[in-house]
Amino acid sequence: MLIDSHAHLELDEFDRDREEAINRARQEGLEAILVVGINLDDSRRAVELANQHDMLFAAVGTHPHDVKKINLQTYDRMAELARDKKVVAYGEIGLDFFRNRSPKDVQIRRFGEQLELAQTLNLPVIIHDRDAHKETTAILKNWKGEKRGVIHCFSGDYAMAKQCLDLGFYISIPATVTYPKAEELREVVKKIPLNAILIETDCPFLPPQIYRGKRNEPAYVSHVARKIAAVKNAAPADVESQTTANARHLFSLH
């Protein structure tokens, strides 16, 4: 059994074949897919979608790209959405200093506010960090609340991974681990314990190497599991069962 801990099945890229993509995931052995929201409207779509399929769960939150659009009502609406029984996490939230689609100071302030909201809602967090390793680690370290969540699409080095693990976070590995240039990520995978790892597609983005240039989808999370097994010299079945157990535990999936 496999779990895709981070998919954007709610996005337009899946409008023409969403049901087929979910069926392909089931055939590939997935037992659950976490559909992750990136702003209020998108989070609403994620929750609606999760309510249409047993194997889908949802996360609600505002991505760093979109935090400039947060207004006075946004957090109340998110909190209402989060009461839905299919919502198992808050996110994705964090920092993106690669594109800076929202100003840095706004990103930092909204990240802190959303960590607080997640704590109030008693939900684990899904953290997005791109080109903001130092700042992300510092904010998580200084955060006084419960440290429960995952660094999604991990792109830091082993030193950062170790700090995040010591704080109590899981590390989620995407299909970039299959890319020829991803030596550093494979080094991280090799060194961190299997009981700290989640796997994800972040689809429709970041397909495995053999599908580069195409759309990614949840079924391809099996490629991530197989690559991790190869890198760690572990049995693929152990990688599947352990990463699935980790995701079930973090998101309280039954």
Paired strand residues for 127: 93, 151
Q: Within 13 Å of residue 82, how many CA atoms lie on the same side as its CB?
A: 25
Q: In sequence order, what E strands does the chain have?
A: 2-7, 30-36, 56-60, 87-96, 125-130, 149-152, 170-173, 197-199
Residue 12 C-beta: closest distance to Ni ion, Å: 15
The number of residues that bind Ni ion (CB under 5 A) is 1
Report residue 16 CA to chain centroid gap.
Answer: 24
- Contact segment (CB under 5 A) with Ni ion among 14-22, 46-54, 83-91, 194-202 equals 194-202
Q: Which lies closer to Ni ion via its Cβ, residue 2 or residue 232? A: 2
Residue 23 C-beta: closest distance to Ni ion, Å: 22
- Contact segment (CB under 5 A) with Ni ion among 71-79, 80-88, 97-105, 199-207 equals 199-207
Q: Which lies closer to Ni ion via its Cβ, residue 42 or residue 202? A: 202
State which of positions 9-38 bind Ni ion (CB under 5 A).
Answer: none
Q: In sequence order, what E strands does 97-169 have?
A: 125-130, 149-152
Task: Report yes or no: 34 and 50 within 8 Å, Cβ to Cβ.
Answer: no
- Contact segment (CB under 5 A) with Ni ion among 48-56, 71-79, 109-117, 198-206 equals 198-206
State which of positions 202-221 bind Ni ion (CB under 5 A).
Answer: 202
Q: Which lies closer to Ni ion via its Cβ, residue 174 or residue 228? A: 174
- Cα of first residue to Cα of last residue in the chain, in angstroms, is 14
Q: Which lies closer to Ni ion via its Cβ, residue 172 or residue 232? A: 172
Q: Which lies closer to Ni ion via its Cβ, residue 218 or residue 232? A: 218
Residue 235 C-beta: closest distance to Ni ion, Å: 29
Residue 72 C-beta: closest distance to Ni ion, Å: 26
Residue 4 C-beta: closest distance to Ni ion, Å: 11
Ramachandran angles phi, psi of 220, nearest 5°: -75, 0
With b for 16 or more beta-carbon neighbours within 10 A and e for fewer, the 191-219 pattern comes to: ebebebbbbbbbbbbbbbeeeeeeebbbb
Q: The tokens of 24 are what? A: 């392909």
Q: Which lies closer to Ni ion via its Cβ, residue 39 or residue 74? A: 39
> Site residues (CB under 5 A) for Ni ion?
202
